[in-house]
Chains A and B, each alone.
Chain A
Amino acid sequence: MANSSTTMDRRTLLKLIAASTGAGLINAPALAVWEEQPDLLPVSKAGFDEATVALITELCEVVIPRTDTPGAKDAGVPPFFIGMVRECYDEQQQKLFEAGFADIESRSKTLYGKPFATLTTVQKTDLTTAIDVEAMAFNKGEDTQWDGEGFSGQPHYFTLMKQLIIFGFFSSKVGGTQVLRHSDVPGGYYDIPYNEGDKAWTTVWPW
């Protein structure tokens, strides 16, 4: 078996390594090379009003809902989404996100007379599906209800949102370990059969 030899005595090995380094060194300050990165911006400091936070929270769950496996809320996607919008997108993209939140909210009110966060699951899904279809058409250069003027060169706002929800979910611990398959230390690389329904493996790089 290709994976039977994965656990060579890791502890012994690490001891060996430790014994062979550290001698003959002058002037060795303890500084981190791989720097600890600052925490993600908390929702309370992201500058979104309560209604928008509620809208984002529901939108995440509509795109990746809880089924027999956890959904976006279970995986902590909404606060991740909010922090990421503020910290990993440029000003123009952030404006596009904001315009998108406003567009979703106003269409919810026009169609159903209520804020998006208070719609039924069916209503949320219908509206979001309609926007998803529009986004695809927009990205292909076809006609769309969304007036994307002022954001030249950008995709439809919903494409940014959908991508971020997907990334946030599948790169989360819940998504990675309860929905995808994760092997922390695979130990080997080899072919395996694939049967319908088998889950994909997690990834370790953010692209």
Chain B
Amino acid sequence: MVNNTYDAIVVGSGISGGWAAKELTEKGLKVLMLERGENVEHVKDYTNTHKNLWDYPHHGRPSEEALASQPVMARGKGYPFNEVTMGAWADHKTSPYVEKEPFQWFRAYQVGGRSLLWGRQSYRLNPEDFEANGKEGVAIDWPIRYDDIAPWYSYVEKFAGISGNKDGLDVLPDGDFLPAFAMNAVEKDLATRLKKQYKGQRHMIMGRTAHITEHRPEQGRGKCQNRDKCWTGCPWGGYFSTQSATLPAALKTGNLTLRPMSIVKELIYDKDKKRVTGVEIIDAETKQTIVYKSKIVFLNASTLNSAWVLMNSARDVWDNGLGSSSGELGHNVMDHHYMLGGTADVPGHLDKYVYGRRPTGIYIPRFANWGSDKRDFLRGFGFQGNAERQSFSRDADGLGIGASLKETLSEPGKWTMRTVGFGEILPDHRNKVSLSKTVTDAWGLPVLEMDAKIRDNEIKMRKAMKEDIVEMFDSIGLKNAQAWESTYHMGKGIHEMGTARMGRDPKTSVLNKHNQVWDAPNVFVTDGACMTSSSCVNPSLTYMALTARAADFAVEELKRGNL
């Protein structure tokens, strides 16, 4: 007799799903975690993690054949698509989507999801981020404030392990950090110059990163070894992932069942009770349909897929699915616009070099529209970057050929500074995803149709980002400062957010302040879908905090008999 009934079902096993599973199992619930892709066992399945470039047939570069096999993902030859990570991203052939506007959607369909492939930058939103919508009359106000989430930021930071400095900046609240990675001597110099030049209004700080910088034997994790091979999975568990952190904790309780190859088709909705009673899945291997029942459901399928699950559920009650009564389900798609930044040469420092491959860099937090800084657009942006000496892959024009070329390139070149900007995208009702009426995936399910793009505010901001970075570089004595920009489409930031926003009013939002679907309070959506605005900082830490907060609330509500 197979037991198909659990206290809770968690849909998705990435960053937020792993947190939901950990929190709910530790609070004593029997949890089924569903994952549409295959299993990835920590360490054992990190098949590339001990390889160097020379161990890959094309030394890590994607072949034309590989690019041609994934034309949608390979557009622009973005960083995710290379020989090192090939296979770790979802296959467009089995899981297509429709683009009314260009949209790059990087999905990781396996246990751990994108927690194995993320950039690991971890920042708190600031108090203003939660208030700006309300003050500026943009979209709707967040139903929570910074103080509501602050303790949960601390809670998740302590467990996940976030390395960083307490920088004392109001724009970027400090957290409970492990020791930060080191800035190199050049970055320290530039940080000092920037602070002086802008009279303490602009800062270059060490990136805050989900890497442990101290061993944690109690978690089975060793500290980051500075190999910079994070996207191959880390056998030390040096960075936070489902496999390194939340999954072992959840399994240790004995309360977790993990079911890979389980494609969620829909949530089963009881319209009399106004509750979801379970989840219907398709087994990806047997194609068999199975229903699992539970008291509560956590949707952590990643932003757009969580919206998809809602849209494909309870369609007999609402044409546009569960949570659509506000008319906002699938709308307000956000991301962080990027693919632009600045480069410059750093004069001098030729007596200095570094040891190790630091898997993070510096961060220049938002300064636009902050304090006395006023712009012709709303909100702001930050820059990630690093100072480093050029490698052999520098421009070899003018270096000749032969022994001297080999000699020159076998030594480090001059110091350069490189940054990439990430800008806030405003929530806009017109930016939306919906179910395609014509295209289905390999399992016969309707796919998403993307209709979202950056608009005036973001376009103005991009211009300012390019101007500002060059001005800053020039002002602190860097040479040959240049802005760079290449094509950005929505989604390319891999920070997609929105589509099931939190709010105070069921008429204008999909979720309440506890991430409960207004139309089915035993369903919690705690991944990026819940975001009411996007801030300009990397969002994953916020999903972790909101998930832990919602899980705590859910268990209390279960005890009170409210769910």
Contact = CB atoms under 8 A, between A and B. Distances in A.
Interface of A: 2-3, 5-6, 8-10, 13-14, 16-29, 31-40, 62-65, 67, 69, 71, 80, 83-84, 87-90, 125, 128-129, 132, 135-136, 139, 159, 162-163, 166-173, 176, 179-180, 182-195, 197-207
Contact of A33 (B45, B56, B222): B45
B254 A24 contact: yes
Interface string B155-198: 00000000000000000000000000110110000000000000
Contact of A186 (B47, B61, B79, B227): B227
A4 to B, nearest CB: 13
Nearest to A25: B258
Nearest to A3: B355
Contacts of A62: 401-402
Given A27-B260, A34-B46, A206 B83 contact: yes
A198 B60 contact: no
A41 B50 CA distance: 24
A200 B409 CA distance: 8
Contacts of A24: 251, 254, 256-258
Given A32-B47, A35-B86, A203-B53, A17 B220 contact: yes
A159 B61 CA distance: 18
Given A23-B251, A37-B66, A194-B353, 5 more contacts: A17-B237, A37-B56, A62-B401, A135-B397, A162-B396
A162 B401 contact: yes
A71 B270 CA distance: 72
A204 B411 contact: no
A200 B405 contact: no
B392 interface: yes
A139 B397 CA distance: 9
B87 interface: yes
B58 A84 contact: yes
B220 A87 contact: no
B283 A27 contact: yes
B200 interface: no
A16 B406 contact: no
B355 A194 contact: no
8 contacts: A32-B47, A34-B84, A170-B392, A186-B357, A189-B354, A189-B355, A189-B358, A205-B53
B356 A38 contact: no
Contact of B398 (A136, A173, A182, A193): A136
B201 interface: no
Nearest to B56: A37
B238 to A, nearest CB: 11
A6 B225 contact: yes
Chain B, interface SS category? loop
Contacts, number: 279
Given A29-B285, A88-B62, A188 B355 contact: yes
A79 to B, nearest CB: 12
Contact of A21 (B42, B57, B82, B226): B42
A65 B404 CA distance: 10
Nearest to B403: A67
A71 B237 CA distance: 38
Interface of B: 38-48, 50, 52-54, 56-66, 79, 82-88, 110, 181-182, 184-185, 215, 217, 220-223, 225-229, 232-233, 235-237, 243, 247-248, 251-252, 254, 256-262, 283, 285, 350-358, 389, 391-393, 396-398, 400-403, 405-407, 409-412
B227 A63 contact: no
Contacts of B262: 27
Contacts of B39: 25, 28-29
A89 B53 contact: no
A21 B217 contact: no
Contact of B223 (A8, A14, A22, A182): A8
Contacts of B66: 37
Nearest to A179: B410
Given A62-B401, A136-B397, A173-B54, A187 B225 contact: yes
A205 B60 contact: yes
A88 B225 contact: no
A80 B59 contact: yes
B248 A205 contact: no
Contacts of B393: 166-167, 170, 203, 207
Contact of B401 (A27, A132, A207): A132
Contact of B41 (A22, A185, A195): A22
B40 to A, nearest CB: 5
Nearest to B87: A35
A64 B355 CA distance: 26
A135 B400 CA distance: 11
B82 A71 contact: no
Contacts of B57: 37-40, 83
Contacts of A193: 351-353
A54 B86 CA distance: 33
Contact of B392 (A17, A80, A189, A200): A200
A176 B52 contact: yes
A38 B56 CA distance: 9
A34 B58 contact: no
A90 B65 CA distance: 10
Contact of B226 (A8, A10, A187, A199): A187
A206 B61 contact: yes
A33 B401 contact: no
Nearest to A205: B60
A166 B413 CA distance: 15
Contacts of B248: 17, 20-21
Contacts of B351: 193-195
Contacts of B59: 80, 167-168, 171-172, 206
B182 A185 contact: no
A201 to B, nearest CB: 8
A176 B53 contact: yes
Contacts of A192: 352-355
Contacts of A83: 57-58
Given A16-B217, A88-B64, A191-B185, A63 B401 contact: yes
A119 to B, nearest CB: 14
Contact of B406 (A65, A135, A203): A65
A21 to B, nearest CB: 5
B217 A13 contact: yes
B182 A190 contact: yes
Contacts of A35: 86-87
The 10 closest A-B pairs by CB, nearest first: A35-B87, A206-B60, A189-B356, A186-B356, A194-B353, A189-B358, A170-B392, A20-B248, A16-B220, A173-B54
B63 A13 contact: no
A127 B257 CA distance: 68
A189 B182 contact: yes
A33 B405 contact: no
Given A27-B283, A132-B401, A206-B84, A87 B353 contact: no
Given A28-B39, A136-B397, A183 B54 contact: no
